């Protein structure tokens, strides 16, 4: 069944007519369709356009639930540039599906070999005399699920010792000169689960500096992040904290660990302050309350003496004063 929650990115070399492109867009059932066109004739202009297009497409891919990239071109230079920049700009990750549609013969597509072998891809070669691409065929093709590697590749996984990963080193080889290590812990279990689900084997590798990875002054990355950026490792198990600089260099998976960090402080000895009941209010508030407490009874007595004939005035004054005190003490 088609996945209507996925987005489709169409990349063309500008040779397809606008009418044909809109027909394809109308027939594709997706939550969103993005159209990217690189039509520069000059090689330098085309390289600049590709870098910008791949950058914008990657930003859009990062906020999309799932993405299928469809590349349509019969230009070998266009396909070669796309293969180069899609890897350099990290447009394609394993959940991203790629469909390349062309009329070029297979011997002229050697520059796509690395891209197609490393990504979740499909190549569609049309006959020379074939007219427009069958829209229903493309619609059905982009919804074919790609969930497992076919040839079970061996991936390199960068890892390092941390509170939830335990690394045990031991000697191996002739005379004990070689050194190997074993990784245990929750992250190793997660990598093993992914390997079984997606049909790949893996080999662990530790970064030379033993760090997670930070951005150096010269723009390079250290640690496990640097290994992934330099293609020395296919993925890193971490777990890694999210930050903006790393997100520009690598792609994160969905969160696998959420931590709740708090600050701790020393607790002092319990003391009883007899004047603690004054702390909720500021001093000037207490001054205003006491002033009102003294002023209101006096004002009331003066008003009563002017307008009413009062018997036993002293007793009445005491009752009024006690009433205001009860109000103050909330009794």
Instruction: Quote the mean pLDDT of the chain.
Output: 77
Nearest to 139 by CA among 120, 117, 124: 124
User: Residue 216 above 80 pLDDT?
Assistant: yes
For range 287-315, the mean pLDDT: 70
Q: Answer yes or no: are the C-beta atoms of 8 and 68 closer than 8 Å.
A: yes
For range 24-40, the mean pLDDT: 70
User: Residue 281 above 80 pLDDT?
Assistant: yes
User: Residue 1 above 50 pLDDT?
Assistant: no
Query: Which pLDDT belongs to residue 136?
Result: 46
Nearest to 210 by CA among 158, 157, 160: 160
pLDDT cut 70: percent of the chain above it: 75
Q: Which two tokens stand for residue 178?
A: 């070689």
pTM as predicted: 0.57
User: Residue 30 above 70 pLDDT?
Assistant: no
Q: Answer yes or no: are the C-beta atoms of 34 and 10 closer than 8 Å.
A: yes
Q: Delimit the domains of the chain by residue range.
A: 7-141, 154-249, 277-328
Identify the residue with better confidence: 50 or 27. Answer: 50
Query: Which pLDDT belongs to residue 242?
Result: 83
For range 82-99, the mean pLDDT: 82
What is the Cα–Cα distance from 159 to 237, expressed in whole angstroms? 6
What is the Cα–Cα distance from 180 to 170, expressed in whole angstroms? 6
Query: Which pLDDT belongs to residue 176?
Result: 47
What is the Cα–Cα distance from 206 to 158, expressed in whole angstroms? 6
What is the Cα–Cα distance from 21 to 16, expressed in whole angstroms? 7
Cis ω before 239 (30° cut-off from 0)? yes
For range 80-86, the mean pLDDT: 86
Identify the residue with better confidence: 170 or 50. Answer: 50
What is the Cα–Cα distance from 217 to 321, expressed in whole angstroms? 76
What is the CATH code for 154-249? 3.40.190.10
User: Residue 307 above 70 pLDDT?
Assistant: no
Give the residue ranges of DSSP H helices in the chain: 18-27, 43-62, 76-88, 113-118, 135-141, 186-198, 223-229, 244-249, 283-307, 313-328
Identify the residue with better confidence: 249 or 318. Answer: 249
Query: Which pLDDT belongs to residue 331?
Result: 44
User: Residue 174 above 70 pLDDT?
Assistant: no
For range 114-139, the mean pLDDT: 68
Question: Which fold, 7-141?
Answer: Rossmann fold (3.40.50)
Q: Answer yes or no: are the C-beta atoms of 225 and 160 closer than 8 Å.
A: no
Other beta carbons within 10 angstroms of residue 233's beta carbon come to 24
Nearest to 96 by CA among 104, 87, 109, 107: 87
For range 273-300, the mean pLDDT: 81
Q: Which two tokens stand for residue 48?
A: 């600049």
C-alpha distances in Å from residue 195, one per residue of 155, 163, 199, 201, 225: 9, 23, 5, 6, 20
């Amino acid at each position: 069944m088609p996945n209507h929650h996925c987005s489709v990115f169409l990349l063309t070399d500008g040779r397809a007519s606008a009418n044909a492109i809109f027909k394809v867009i109308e027939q594709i059932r997706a939550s969103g369709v993005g159209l990217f066109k690189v039509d520069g004739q000059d090689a330098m202009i085309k390289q600049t356009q590709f870098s910008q297009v791949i950058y914008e497409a990657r930003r859009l891919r990062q906020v999309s639930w799932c993405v299928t990239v469809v590349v349509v071109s019969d230009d070998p230079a266009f396909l070669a540039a796309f293969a180069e920049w899609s890897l350099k700009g990290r447009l394609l990750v394993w959940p991203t599906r790629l469909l390349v549609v062309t009329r070029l013969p297979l011997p002229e597509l050697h520059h796509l070999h690395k891209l197609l072998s490393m990504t979740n891809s499909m190549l569609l070669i049309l006959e020379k005399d074939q007219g427009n691409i069958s829209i229903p065929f493309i619609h059905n093709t982009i919804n074919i699920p790609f969930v497992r590697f076919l040839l079970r590749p061996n991936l390199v996984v960068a890892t390092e010792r941390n509170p939830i990963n335990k690394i045990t080193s031991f000697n191996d080889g002739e005379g004990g000169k070689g050194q190997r290590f074993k990784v245990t812990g929750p992250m190793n279990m997660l990598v093993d689960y992914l390997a079984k689900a997606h049909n790949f084997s893996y080999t662990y590798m530790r970064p030379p500096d033993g760090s997670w990875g930070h951005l150096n002054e010269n723009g390079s990355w250290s640690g496990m992040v640097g290994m992934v950026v330099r293609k020395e490792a296919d993925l890193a198990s971490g777990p890694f904290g999210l930050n903006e600089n790393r997100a520009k260099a690598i792609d994160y998976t969905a969160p696998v660990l959420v931590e709740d960090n708090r600050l701790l402080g020393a607790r002092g000895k319990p003391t009883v302050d007899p004047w603690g009941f004054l702390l909720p209010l500021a001093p000037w508030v207490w001054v205003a309350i006491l002033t009102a407490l003294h002023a209101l009874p006096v004002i009331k007595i003066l008003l009563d003496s002017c307008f009413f004939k009062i018997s036993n005035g002293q007793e009445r004054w005491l009752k009024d004063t006690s009433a205001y005190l009860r109000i103050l003490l909330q009794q």
